[in-house]
Amino acid sequence: MPLSAESLTKNFFRESKDSNCFSAVEELSLRLEEGTVTVLTGRSGGGKTTVLNMMSGLLVPTKGRVLLDDTDIYSLTDKELSKLRNDRFGVVPQGQTAIHSLNVIENILLPYAIYGEKTDDAVRNRADDLLQRLDIAQLSSAKPAQLSGGELRRMAIARAVIKKPNFIFADEPTGDLDDENTKTVFEFFRSAADEGAAVLIVTHEECAAEYADRVIKMASGKIV
Amino acid sequence: MKGFKDLTVKSLLGKPVRTAILVLLTVLLTLTVLDGSLTESSLETGIDSLEARLGADVMVVPYSATTKQKFENIVLQGSTGYFYMGKNYVDEISRIEGVGEMSEQFYLASASTSCCSIPVQIIGYDPDTDFTITPWVKKSYGKKLDTYDVVVGNDLNAFVGDILYFYGVRVKVAAKLEKTGTSYDTTVFTNADTIKELIRSSLELKMNDFSDVDPDNVVSCVLINVADGYNAEEVTNNINLHVKKVKAIQTKEMISGVSDSLSGVSSVIGILIGAVWVLGAVIMLLAFTMSVNERKKEFAVLRVMGASRGKLASLVIKEALLIGLAGSLLGTLTGLVIMIGFGGLIEQLLGLPFLLPSAGAVIGYAIAAVALTVVTGADAAAVSAFRISRIDTGVILRGDN
């Protein structure tokens, strides 16, 4: 079941001489299909992150709809939308997003803890496997303060995919990574798509195209 | 991690300085509310106790005692002193219309020299006619006081069986009274025969200002309960009109001065409690708002993972509840230690009757203080959580807010 953005528009308040309304995204439509990697690229300030946030249920659009199973996700109550994000969406936000009072493995398992779901052996094994694949297995018990930027980023990726979401949204997932780890992460997302997920990656990395089914370029809030 | 609940505890432990400051704030708030309320209540209990201890409608003393304010100072302030009037006045007073029960009392102040064990106020009463002290002494000592037996106030450093000396006379402590919160806590009581012996001895040692006094023919004051059908004001006026060189005083009037002071002090304490509570609530709101603001990225991440606004609010409120509970329990403990340990000092500083209410009432005040602090903290946290939950997660992640 695809996730479709229909005529999404997002305006922000920003003081300027002409108008206090800044349009970050204008009338954008986008469809994320299962088993595909979509790369969203373009210059900074072009509206990529805003699109990702709106499609992942984190930012209410000014206009337009995001449809899943024929339902606009923004017509759901906060409780329903939150549960949907927990069950079916996996988001890797920009920047450092660790919960500092928890260690690495606790951070990764946090999506289960939010709704009190038990983490059985299968979940634990999956977490260990993710740590292994992202090359941070030795840091399982470490606190976020002890990790480098790149390690934190990979921890956030493991956390986003721990519940095998249908839709993965990654905002600059390789921002702090070297070439080798960048390649590892893109391969990781490719395999997630191959296992059935729809993946949307916002990135400036040109090599991302090698792993994508589709590359979309954005400028001034529009697809170009 | 077992669940989302663990995150509450881990968040608190993960930021020990922030947690400690918030706990300290709740300790101070609870301490102020509890000790302020207990002080106010203790003053009220103290005045009730004083009224009960006086136990008479009218007191008659020599006129000279009232002009020097000796009498009120002895009864209300705990000063030591003594004054006498001839016993013939007792007969005159008894003939006044409206006088019902009547009993004499004898005052003597012990000295701080070697003749006396402790410098205190000594009050002698006649067990056969007394209606004010006996009921109260009976609570601690069921028997009739023998000659050379004394009953000591609760604050005095003397205990049952101790031998004391007043003006060289050996007396035995037969009982120790329960706390009253009044000047009677530092007073020694004995029967009329014993105090006459003490007065006689003080005269022999030339340590009494009244060198020509005959202990068998004087009294210090007369306590009166008015007869049925009369009121205290009427009887007081009658005595003052018909008996020369004495002054009849309504006990209610005596206490009214103290009550006025108490009312003033209570109002100040009430205002202070209110002001501290409002200030505490505002500081808590600011503290929680700052704490929530500092952690908004963390909350945004939890939203990303699927935490609803309700779940975030419950996380923040649970943290506030834990902080409030820990702080208020610590504050209550500290507050009780201060009130129980330094009650005497507070009484001295205020110069008013001061008696802690019953244990049940103290527990009630403690529970109320804990509840008030916990609810205040939780409300402050709820307001902060509500404000942060209204902001779009995407906006927080963008760093625009």
Same domain, B13 and B117: no
Same domain, B224 and B292: no
pLDDT in tens, B39-92: 888 888 887 877 777 788 999 999 888 765 566 667 666 677 888 899 999 999
Q: Are strands A222-223 and A214-219 parallel, antiparallel or unpaired?
A: antiparallel
**What does the domain layout of chain A look like in residue ranges?**
3-223
Identify the domain boundary among B223, B250, B277: B250
- A220-224 average pLDDT score: 90
Same domain, B61 and B38: no
pLDDT class of A182 with cuts at 50, 70, 90:
very high
Same domain, B326 and B204: no
Identify the domain boundary among B188, B217, B250: B250
Same domain, B123 and B166: yes
Does residue A58 sit at the B interface (CB-CB below 8 Å)?
A: yes
A58 vs B11, B393, B400: nearest CB:
B393
Which chain B residue shows the shortest CA-CA distance from A105?
B1
Same domain, B170 and B34: no
pLDDT in tens, A2-14: 999 999 999 988 7
Q: Could you tell me which residue, A4 or B252, shows the higher pLDDT?
A: A4
Same domain, B324 and B189: no
In the CATH scheme, what is the homologous superfamily, with its name and number, of domain A3-223? P-loop containing nucleotide triphosphate hydrolases (3.40.50.300)
SS3 of A2, please?
A: coil
Nearest-neighbour CA in chain B from A112: distance (Å): 8
A86 vs B301, B306, B398: nearest CB:
B306
C-alpha triplet B279, B335, B257: angle, nearest 5°? 85
Nearest-neighbour CA in chain A from B294: distance (Å): 13
Identify the domain boundary among B215, B250, B285: B250
| Total domains present in chain B | 2
Domain that holds residue B198: 53-250
pLDDT in tens, B281-309: 888 888 888 888 888 888 899 999 999 99
State the best of A58, A89, A119, A143 to mutate against chain B, taking most chain B CBs within 10 Å: A58
Same domain, B240 and B114: yes
Contacts with B2 from chain A: Cβ below 8 Å: 113
pLDDT in tens, A38-57: 999 999 889 999 999 999 99
CB-count burial class (<10 Å; 0-12, 13-18, 19+) for B206: exposed
Same domain, B184 and B222: yes
CA-atom Rg of chain B in angstroms: 30
Same domain, B308 and B245: no
Does residue A100 sit at the B interface (CB-CB below 8 Å)?
A: yes
Crossing angle, helix B16-54 and helix B343-350, to 10 degrees? 60
Cβ pair B194, B69 in contact under 8 A: no
Task: Look at residue B4 in the predicted model and tell me its pLDDT.
Answer: 61
Task: Look at residue B104 in the predicted model and tell me its pLDDT.
Answer: 93
Between CA B337 and CA B343 the distance in angstroms is 10
pLDDT class of B401 with cuts at 50, 70, 90:
very low
Between CA B401 and CA B399 the distance in angstroms is 6
A111 vs B297, B306, B400: nearest CB:
B306
ipTM reported for the complex surpasses 0.95: no
Task: Look at residue A34 in the predicted model and tell me its pLDDT.
Answer: 94
A113 and B392 in contact by Cβ < 8 A? no
What phi and psi values does residue B100 have, to the nearest 5 degrees? -105, -110
Same domain, B150 and B275: no
B4 and A114 in contact by Cβ < 8 A? yes
Short-list A110, A34, A108, CA closest to A69 = A34
pLDDT > 90 in chain B, percent: 34
Task: Give the pTM.
Answer: 0.70
Nearest-neighbour CA in chain A from B288: distance (Å): 18
C-alpha triplet A160, A161, A164: angle, nearest 5°? 135
Starting at the edge strand that comes first in sequence, how are the strands of the sheet with A63-68 ordered? A21-32, A3-13, A63-68, A71-72
